[in-house]
Structure 1
Amino acid sequence: MSRHFYHRRNAGKFNYVNRWVKYVLSVTNFLFVMIGSIFLVFGIIAFVESGIITQKSKICILHWIFNITVIVIIVGFITVLVSATGFIGSLRENQCLLKFYYISLAMLFVCETIIGILFFIYRETAINHAEEIVKKTFVTQYREVGFEDSTNFMDFLQKELQCCGPRSYTDWTANRYFSCNDSYVSPEACGVPFSCCRRMNNINVGIPCSIFSIHALIFLARRRKGWDAALHGRLARKRE
């Protein structure tokens, strides 16, 4: 028996369709629809639970674009849209949907190719811009309310890549919790996140490695002088 069949669409017109291509394309796109739906649902749930919508303070547009949950939602939506047209178009042999599917795949391929070529040509400039974007978004978002996903993502990158900051550990001065600026005094001022630290057997877990830096030692020394003065003052008043 032949593996091909003819399906009558309109009067006097027959379409030659390969049965295996049809069902393989349908099943493949159906799987991508399911995967994209999972990304989309979890992205929306994470975005709602992050509390960004209810925040009264203004959020920079870069924070929206490079927010992890927003990226997941966009990727999930595009995956569902393109895969759904491919699934329905191949299953129902709809030429309009199939044309949209093929054009979408071609556009994605062309965009990826252009981005790859531009990145190869302007590699240094692209890396510098990427580092600056990461510093302005993920570093400043670190530990802020509504950006827990960005915080976890940054910790994951630093642990896996064994790095500290986009360029160096000094990039963390852009974060208000680790900044050395006296306008906002933090116990972790002049320090870095725990994900920058290397695990050592002779050091207890939870002690930030940044406290051994020179700036952090100066900060702790100043704080300790203040605590000692306050403690001595209390003891003197009790003795009186």
Structure 2
Amino acid sequence: LESATMGRSGYTCVRHIFCTLNVLMWLCGCGILGVGIWLRLSYAGYTQLLPKYSMISADSLCIAVGVIIFIVAFFGCCGSWFQSRCMLVTYFSLVIFMFVVEFLFATLAFVFRENLGGTLKEELTEGIKLHYNTSESNSLENIWNHIHKEFHCCGVTNYEDWYLIDAWPGKRNVPASCCLSEFANDTACGYEGNQDMWYTTGCAEQVQMWFVERLHIVGIVGLVVAFIQLFGLISSMLLFCTVRHKRTSHTYKSYDPAT
């Protein structure tokens, strides 16, 4: 009797933790989805940073990740609350699928890490040439202005990336945001011949350095996500097996000839 009571207590504890965790993940998914929609509506120009890869823009990734977390957490929470074996199996399958996709992405990123940087630089440069237009509000201009000011850089590789673009045909100008902070108020700073007033480092290099300096944060987030997924897998199977056992026992007792 005592072991049965402990078993029920353990099952109840795992069920409540699992349900609470998935509610929090569901709210997190809603938040990420909301951020993605906000980025899509407010900063549509981000899709023009990488013309051929607009599907991996910040807003698209946030929307995709938010929807996936929303769906997975929904099945986990409902499966736990209603003790539904079908939902628990669906949750388990979705988490396994996420594990496989994450592993494939990590493997591809590692294998093609040498080519990835060059490809991104080419795409960013192509985006500047094709889509940079100073006459459009909330466009690529605003995004590059923010990048220049935030990372104290100019262009993708260097300021020469801004030469001969459609925004100023035939001129070797740069955006005013490329100007050093001490020349920020000089309206003529971005004009041809004022190279001494511009940032000389490319933004690709600066962003890469910023990312490398925060790899430990990425690692911690990755470990937390992996732990949550592993806990979800184990918990969902424990709950599934317990629910199946309870229903099997109930069915057996219902048809027991001795009763």
| 2:8 alignment partner in structure 1 | 5
Identity rate, percent? 22
Q: What per-residue deviation string (whole Å, max 9, x for no partner) do you get for residues 163-218 of structure 1?
A: 323322223347532x5x34xxxxxx523334433312xx3536464336468xxx
Q: What is residue 190 of structure 2 aligned with on the other side? A: 210
Q: State the superposition RMSD in angstroms.
A: 3.9
**Residue correspondence of structure 1 range 201-240 to structure 2 within 5 A:** 203-205=183-185, 207=187, 209-211=189-191, 213=193
Partner of 1:94: 84
In the alignment, which of 8, 16, 20 is matched to residue 27 of structure 1?
A: 20
CA–CA distance in structure 2, aligned partners of residues 146 and 101 of structure 1: 45
* C-alpha separation in 2, matches of 1:128 and 1:92: 51
| Residue number among 96, 104, 115 corresponding to 1:106 in the alignment | 96
Amino acid at match of 1:24: I
8 A contact 2:129–2:166 mirrored in 1: no
Matches within 5 A, 1:154-193: 154-173=144-163, 175-177=165-167, 179=168, 181-182=169-170, 189-193=171-175
Structure 2: which 5+ residue stretches go unaligned?
196-259
Q: Distance in 2 between matches of 1:135 and 1:142?
A: 10
Contact 1:197–1:208 (CA<8 Å) still a contact in 2?
no
Larger radius of gyration: 1
Q: Secondary structure at the match of 2:190?
A: helix
Q: State the distance in 2 between where 1:23 and 1:67 align.
A: 37
What is aligned with 2:123? 133
CA–CA distance in 1 between the matches of 2:35 and 2:181?
Answer: 32
TM-score w.r.t. length of structure 1: 0.59
User: Which structure has more RCO (C-alpha within 8 Å, separation ≥ 6)?
Assistant: 2
CA 1:5–1:194 in structure 2 vs 1: closer, same or farther (change >3 Å)? farther
Deviation at 1:125, TM superposition (A): 0.8
Q: What 5-or-longer segments of structure 1 have no aligned partner?
A: 7-16, 53-59, 183-188, 216-240
1:33-92 CA-to-partner distances (Å, cap 9, x unmatched) read 22322332453355456789xxxxxxx973742444333322322221222222222222
CA 1:120–1:48: 2 relative to 1, 3 Å? closer
Q: Which residue of 2 aligns with 1:199?
A: 181
Counterpart of 1:192 in structure 2: which amino acid? V
Q: Distance in 2 between matches of 1:147 and 1:204?
A: 21
- The amino acid across from 2:64 in the alignment is I
Higher helix share: 2
How far apart, in 2, do the equivalents of 1:106 and 1:87 lie? 17
Residues 1:116 and 2:106 aligned together: yes
Hey, what's the Cα distance between the residues in 2 that align with 1:30 and 1:192? Answer: 49
Instruction: Report the CA distance shift for 1:113/1:171 in structure 2 as closer, same or farther (over 3 A).
Output: farther
The 2-side partners of 1:102 and 1:197 are apart by 53
